[in-house]
Structure 1
Amino acid sequence: MTASLKQTRFKIGGMDCASCAAKIDTAVRRLDGVADVSVSVTGASMTVSHGGALPEDKVLRQVARLGYGIVKADVKAGARISAGKADDHNHADHEGHDHEGHDHEGHDHGGQPAGKEAAASSHLHSDAEPGQAWWRSRRAALTLSCAAALLAAYGIGHVVPAVERWAFLAALLVGLVPIARRALMAALAGTPFSIEMLMTIAAVGAVMIGATEEAAAVVVLFLIGEMLEGVAAGRARASIQGLADLVPKTALVERNGDIVELAAEELAVGDVIVVRPGDRIPADGEIIEGSSDIDEAPVTGESTPKRKSVGEAVFAGTISTDGVLKLRVTAAASDNTIARVVRLVEEAQEAKAPTERFIDRFSHYYTPAVLVVGALVALLPPLLAGGDWNEWIYKGLAILLIGCPCALVISTPAAIAAGLATGARRGLLMKGGAVLEGFAGITAVAFDKTGTLTQGKPVVTDVLPFGRDERAVLALAAALEQGSSHPLAVAILDRAKADKAPVPPALAARAISGKGVEGKVGGVAVFLGSGQAAAERATLTEAQRLAIDGLNSQGKTVSVLVADGTVAGLIAMRDEPRADAAAGIAALKGEGIRAVMLTGDNSRTAEAIAASLGIEARAELLPQDKQRIVGELQGEGLKVAKVGDGINDAPALAAADIGIAMGGGTDVALETADAAILHGRVTDVWRMIKLSRAVMANIRQNITVALGLKVVFLVTTIAGITGLWPAILADTGATVLVTANAMRLLRWRG
């Protein structure tokens, strides 16, 4: 797509399988001004790329004629767009009705203004209103009506045998007319070989050879299969849309000293909101008052709440369990972490995986081939071998039903969509099916150190006192560091707070460039700085020098505390590995995946961290060096994933087969690279690979089921063992099995 193209997004109602998406894609591509079309079944959406102004009325009408509801995705509450035109007057009855935040599947947005043909054709694929049970949908009503008509036909035929055939014909027409209408509309829109066309040909052919009862039963079974597909597709959509439902609808906002309740979607960046104990947090924000244990399980899957206080960030949808918090909103409702995750997953589901693209191309030739095979089976034996015409036409029609590509076409996208959704719910964001599929082949992972394998900030690891206790050493050091924002100063202050060391005031405190900080604490002259600078103010014993060297050899930065001209203690600090880093590296090795650390840090620190994690290290690297090493690994035949912060590692992320941004919900973590680990867990790299492999295994199972059943019933049909009923059961059954198997991925735990 060129930079000059614009994009318009639509929500589609009643679309439940890849065949539906293909019909819509083909129909919309035929319109003037349309450059590209991307349709997501799970997202129930369509993105149209176009150069100039898009003829929206034509897009809406074209989709409505195929039998699907459609509305422009950015339509505001009360401003409905349907297949005919935009209603620019206010709909009083739609006040407050959010056309963007819920699933439009239940609305016949495309039916009314588009004309009678659109209204009639939309009957089959109109789904339930949001919140309604599936059995109250129009699709279910049609299925139940056709089934009831079939049962009535059996009863009438038993009581009045003379009209039995006409009763079954009437039952058949109840279900077949909508199907045939959609087949015709699809053919006119560029998809002549649709599943509906195969069904229509088979049903009409069966009537012509006197198999009216079977034709009616086959249509009922087909409608049941369609309905079950819709239920499964709805579950897949709900799995990711459930994330959006985590955010409360209202928020308590501080305005002019008062607390008022407003809709969460009205919150603006900078607003101050109050969150009570037990409440869900309505927006991304920063704590400005209070502290609380934050239950992030609904968003991150973390089993243990995290204690958060002033200055720390919180996500929308998480729960404040035991404290009252005041937050400053840092992102509008449309741009909070959950909204961006949902948007990213919907966009990712529109990007097809290589396997899915292959299946699409295969089915493009497969369906016409089925028609040819069915025709040959029906015609050749009677023409060449004197076979019975009725018998072989019957077999040819059964082959049309067996050959329906629905199960095969849905086998891959259903698994991909379920995999993307379940990954997103666990903070594993992958930008499209190609990325999800690519993880399965990863054989090496290159990690950045700072902020990726480590926490990204130093912490105090050792306090060695001389002539004083640890708390006294921390108290003197913290007194000098009060008010400083230097990372080492913050580490000392945090440790003093954690150890409950008193922090007395320091007088005449000042920083000495390149050396440290000095001042007076309780009348005592105190200095805190490097070992070399400390040696200028006090005599270090041999034991103290050895201790400093030993700590340095572990990659730690050592600050020496001097009080009244003598060494009072040593404070060692280091950017420590993440709690799960060692487990994450071990898990990758357990899968036979090579792990390597690439860092710009000094060799001593790198080697110390690497030794504690069991990973090989390359240190003192510039960004271009990291890119070069990724290329060298690829030259060894490895498929490389690069994990970094998405900024400094940009060249290496771009060079890798898959680039992964590590972050805590930041824009960088969500928008850089091919994938993002939302919650900063090293083990999540392993989980991404495991999820990808589970998805690929699921796809292989689905394709085996879809093709295997067809082969079995093809043989039995030609042999005269099975007929129309088993044929449609094979197709419907395979579709249901494939969809159900894909939905198992929604329960994946990693």
Structure 2
Amino acid sequence: MSSENDKHVYRIEGFTCAHCAGTFEKNVKNLEGVVDAKVNFGASKVTVHGNTSIEDLEKAGAFENLKVRPEKEKSKDNTQEKVPFLQKHMTIMGALLFLAFGLLSQFINGEENLVTVLAFASSMAIGGYSLFKVGLMNLIRLQFDMKTLMTVAVIGAAIIGEWTEGAIVVILFAISEALERFSMDQARQSIRSLMDIAPSEALIKRNGQEMTVRVDDIEIGDIMIVKPGQKLAMDGVVVNGNSSINQAAITGESIPVEKHVDDEVFAGTLNEEGLLEVRVTKHVEDTTISKVIQLVEDAQAERAPSQAFVDRFAKYYTPAIIVVAALVAVLPPLLAGASWETWIYQGLAVLVVGCPCALVISTPVSIITAIGNAAKNGVLIKGGVYLEEAGTLKAIAFDKTGTLTKGVPVVTDFSVLNDTDEQGLLSIVTALESRSQHPLASAIVQKAEQEKAPYKAIEVTDFSSITGKGIKGVINDTTYYIGSPKLFEEWLAGGLPVEASGKVQTLQQQGKTAMMVGTNQAVLAVIAVADEVRSSSKEVISKLHDMGIENTIMLTGDNKETARAIGDQIGVTKVQAELMPEDKLTSIKEAREKFGKVAMIGDGVNDAPALAASTVGIAMGGAGTDTALETADVALMGDDLKKLPYTVKLSRRALTIIKQNISFSLGIKIAALLLVVPGWLTLWIAILADVGATLLVTANGLRLLRVKE
């Protein structure tokens, strides 16, 4: 494989079908200077390893008249959307016109009349020009795809004098291709809408001057000015001003979020109120929205299990249809003396009905639509395989801190003992904790500032941390200790006072973390700190249970009493507490052995091993978190657990629709082929079955756009 420097990505315009994309990929691989190539049909992109030119790539796609441009280059014209309907489908309209003239001539002059034949032949030539160009080339190369089958069938129909049906088959096939192209464009539209979210330029302040700069030319450290009602063009940090920002485009949250100095903001979000000055922190290609678009497009190239099955099936299905068609055409005349013309016609009809258009498009249109819909709703699904796996989950494990809870501890109780001065003791405790790096220290500092307890002027000496148990320090010649009850059990000769021990037990039963404050002689106070449960956690767990996911597991490093209290409050079916990171990994492995398909949802950083070991790893708050975007299979872009039931619902709906599409595609083929037995299968019935199936499976797949929370 060539180095990354020899890797080039191009956007393609003009794909009509998945098989054509495969043909283009083979052609590109055969180009001089190309080491390898991979086409992403869903995103209309090709990744080329090696060196080649756009001209050579367009030659490789000449059979489809494909247009190629570098990935980062904007489309030079959007005329495709502005072309009038009649002009856009001029060949089909011309073919229909000649078909109508041929039918009229047939009614007046008869079927064998030269004018009639010429009219039908013209209709076939106009409507089937692109079909025949590719089909004949494939036939010469012995490459049998749907266009080869159609070409052989239409030419065969002309040879045996079935001009009317030959012309109808060509037109219906052209309509089928137009419908397929339209449906894929609709599925891709969700990705295009993401690309249009962020502005292409921004107002930048440099050297005291304001200027409008294209996003490609904006540098890290530039100050971006965002006025009310404007969208942010780049990711950054607020350095001046405050406002409410609508982040729906990134996180799916419909409620605007207040942003102040030092808060992170994202490209593509809408500034609703105040004037903001934002220091740019990322280049345009590294912004959150750019990464989301890139990951969504890459996800479309990942083969889902159902799509892999369809691809394998189609590989053997097309040659099998050719063999069946040949046997249908030859065996009855040879073995039973039947009419050669009749059974050759039946064989041609088998070729037409055997076209796997509907089957080939049944899965990708569903997956692309679902992944695009999820991205618009703040859920990043990184491949079709994860889309399908999420719909088959039997259990979901949750990291507690920051997932089921807010991850921000607050002081809930400050109970002094022995008539100690509460305000004075709070100041002493805060003076000590302000020197600590413990996660709970910030909660105590916040409590002191709310109570306006003076602590900054208090002098602390001999401050030290007691590993795993607490801290200590000397204030006014007295040594104070703050830590777990175990710390005081070791230090106090007479053990813990009954009153203090009772308070600790009560607080732990309430799901709170209890700490003690004291000296060598006595316990002075009991402090309780709790990580607040998210308001949505109980509702989400309840919804998952209603959806049939009966096993919900909470994993935490907290003590068992605290963990059990929070688990009961939220409603999870199982609580595993006092876990180290490696214990979480073991828990996931055990859950997979017991339940089969298990998801793990966490923050994507501390829980990386457990996320990787699960069937589907789901990261919370992916927006702005590179690690979450890179390590997880699914990322909930907002800090919103309510997206989880939506993700499961979308996955299940996608699975159902994929199964419906595959079953219907194969079922209608089998039903049409059975018409061969009594000799009822005709060319126009065959092509109608194919067009009808293609139309129905694409329309069915596009229903995934309507799935909401």
Find the partner of 1:507 among 450, 457, 477: 457
- Distance of aligned partners of 1:279 and 1:192 in 2 relative to their CA distance in 1, 3 Å threshold: same
Give per-residue Cα distances to partners, 1:69-101, cap 9 Å, x unaligned: 242534x6xxxxxxxxxxxxxxxxxxxxx43xx
1:89 maps to what in 2? none
In structure 2, the residue matched to 1:91 is none
Residue pair 2:619, 2:634 contacting (<8 A) in 1 also: yes
* CA 689–297 in structure 1, closer or farther in 2 if over 3 Å, else same: same
Question: 1:730 is matched with which residue?
Answer: 689
The counterpart of 2:281, out of the listed 330, 341, 357, is 330
- Superposition map of 1:214-613 within 5 A: 214-462=165-413, 487-488=439-440, 490-491=442-443, 506-508=456-458, 510=460, 512-514=463-465, 515=471, 546-557=502-513, 572-590=528-546, 591-613=548-570
Alpha-carbon distance between aligned partners in 2 of 1:384 and 1:484, rounded to the nearest angstrom: 94
> Which whole-Å deviations, capped at 9, do the CAs of 1:28-52 have from their partners, x for residues lacking one?
344566565432222011223x4xx
Classify 1:687/1:6 alpha carbon distance in 2 versus 1 (closer, same or farther; 3 Å). Answer: farther
State whether structure 2 residue 580 is matched by structure 1 residue 622.
yes
Aligned partner of 2:15 in structure 1 is 15
Cα-to-partner distance string for 1:274-309 (whole Å, 9 max, x where unaligned): 222222222222222222222222332223222222
- Decide whether the 8 Å contact of 1:623 with 1:648 is kept in 2: yes
Cα distance in 1 for partners of 2:560, 2:473 equals 27
Secondary structure (helix, strand or coil) at the match of 1:168 reads: helix
- Asked if structure 2 preserves the Cα contact closer than 8 Å seen for 1:250 and 1:263, the reply is yes
CA 1:34/1:155 → structure 2, altered by over 3 Å: closer, same or farther? same
Q: What SS does the aligned partner of 2:221 have?
A: coil
Indicate the residue corresponding to 1:115 in structure 2: none
Query: 1:16·1:41 contact (CA, 8 Å) conserved in 2?
Result: no
Letter of the 1:572 counterpart: A
> What secondary structure, in the 3-state scheme, does the structure 1 residue paired with 2:575 have?
strand
CA contact (8 A) 2:58 2:65 kept: no
Residue 180 (structure 1) aligns with: 132
Q: Distance in 2 between the 1:477 and 1:437 partners? A: 52
CA distance in 2, matches of 1:5, 1:195: 37
Deviation at 1:455, TM superposition (A): 2.4
1:141 corresponds to which residue?
A: 90
Relative to 1, partners in 2 of residues 1:59 and 1:423: Cα closer, same or farther, differing over 3 Å?
farther
Q: Shift of residue 693 of structure 1?
A: 1.6
- 1:214-237 CA-partner distances (Å, limit 9, x unpaired): 211221111111111111111111
Q: How many residues align?
A: 687
1:314, CA displacement in angstroms? 2.0
Q: Which moved more, 1:150-159 or 1:678-687?
A: 150-159
Q: Distance in 1 between matches of 2:243 and 2:523?
A: 40
Q: Structure 2 stretches of 5 or more lacking a match?
A: 466-470
Confirm or deny: 8 A CA contact 1:584 1:682 kept in the other structure.
Answer: yes
2:468 matched to which residue of 1? none
720-729 vs 346-355, greater mean Cα deviation: 720-729
Asked if 1:633 corresponds to 2:591, the answer is yes
Out of 140-149 and 355-364, give the one that drifted further: 140-149
Q: Does structure 1 conserve the Cα–Cα contact (< 8 Å) formed by 2:28 and 2:57?
A: no
Distance 1:518 1:152 in 2: 104
Q: 1:725 is matched by which residue type in structure 2? A: W
Alpha-carbon offset, residue 429 of structure 1: 2.0
- 1:648 corresponds in structure 2 to 606
User: Which residue identity is paired with 1:719?
Assistant: P
The 2-side partners of 1:322 and 1:477 are apart by 41
Q: One-letter code of the match for 2:692?
A: G
Counterpart amino acid of residue 237 in structure 1: R
Confirm or deny: 8 A CA contact 1:286 1:330 kept in the other structure. Answer: yes
**Cα-to-partner distance string for 1:361-382 (whole Å, 9 max, x where unaligned):** 1111111111221222222222
Paired residues for 1:53-132 under 5 Å = 53-56=50-53, 60-61=57-58, 63-74=60-71, 98-99=73-74, 102=75, 129=79, 131-132=81-82
Q: Deviations over 1:91-132 (max 9, x none)?
A: xxxxxxx43xx5x8x8xxxxxxxxxxxxxxxxxxxxx73543
TM-score by length of 2: 0.86
* Deviation (angstroms), 1:456: 2.6
Equivalent position of 1:747 in the other structure: 706
- Helix, strand or coil at the partner of 1:600: coil
CA RMSD, 1 decimal: 3.8
Distance 2:248 2:154 in 1: 52
> How big is the shift at 1:671?
0.5
Counterpart of 2:130 in structure 1: which amino acid?
A: P
Residue identity (%): 40
Deviation at 1:404, TM superposition (A): 0.5
What residue in structure 1 maps to residue 616 of structure 2? 658
Q: Indicate the SS of the match to 1:621.
A: coil
Distance 1:596 1:713, change over 3 A: same
Counterparts of 1:137 and 1:577, CA distance in 2: 60
Q: Is the 8 A contact 1:430 1:675 kept in 2?
A: yes
Q: How does 1:22-41 map to 2 (within 5 A)?
A: 22-31=22-31, 36-41=36-41
Aligned-partner Cα distance in 1 for 2:501–2:330: 97
For 1:478-520, what per-residue CA distance to the aligned partner results, in whole angstroms no more than 9, with x for missing partners?
89989998754544565688x7x66778534658545479999
Q: 1:412 to 1:158 in 2, by over 3 A?
A: same
**1:402–1:731 CA contact under 8 A, matched in 2:** yes
Q: CA deviation at 1:560?
A: 7.7
1:746, CA displacement in angstroms?
Answer: 1.7
The match for 1:44 is 44
Distance in 1 separating the partners of 2:421 and 2:144 = 83
Distance 1:334 1:548 in 2: 52
Return the alpha-carbon distance in structure 1 between the equivalents of residues 142 and 415 of structure 2.
78
Task: Note the alpha carbon deviations across 1:421-468, whole angstroms, 9 max, x for none.
Answer: 122222322222222222223222222222333323313445669999
Q: Alignment partner of 1:457: what SS?
A: strand
Q: CA deviation at 1:169?
A: 0.9
Q: Secondary structure at the match of 1:447?
A: strand
Q: Does 1:693 align with 2:661?
A: no
Tell me the TM-score normalised to structure 1 length: 0.81
Distance 2:446 2:246 in 1: 23
Residue identity in the other structure for 2:28: V
Q: Residue type of the partner of 1:46?
A: V
* Structure 1: distance between partners of 2:431 and 2:365: 60
**What's the CA shift for 1:339?**
1.0
Which stretch of the first structure deviates more once superposed, 149-158 or 64-73? Answer: 149-158
Choose 169-178 or 610-619, whichever is displaced more.
610-619
SS of residue matched to 2:697: helix
**CA displacement 1:201-259 (0-9 Å, x = unmatched):** 11111111211122112211111111111111111111122112111223222222333
* Structure-2 residue corresponding to 1:670: 629
Structure 1 residues 238 and 463, CA gap change in structure 2 (3 angstroms): farther
Distance 1:41 1:136 in 2: 27
**Aligned-residue offset at 1:352:** 0.7
Give the Cα–Cα distance (whole angstroms) in 2 for the partners of residues 5 and 187 of structure 1.
38
Task: Give the match for residue 641 of structure 2.
Answer: 682
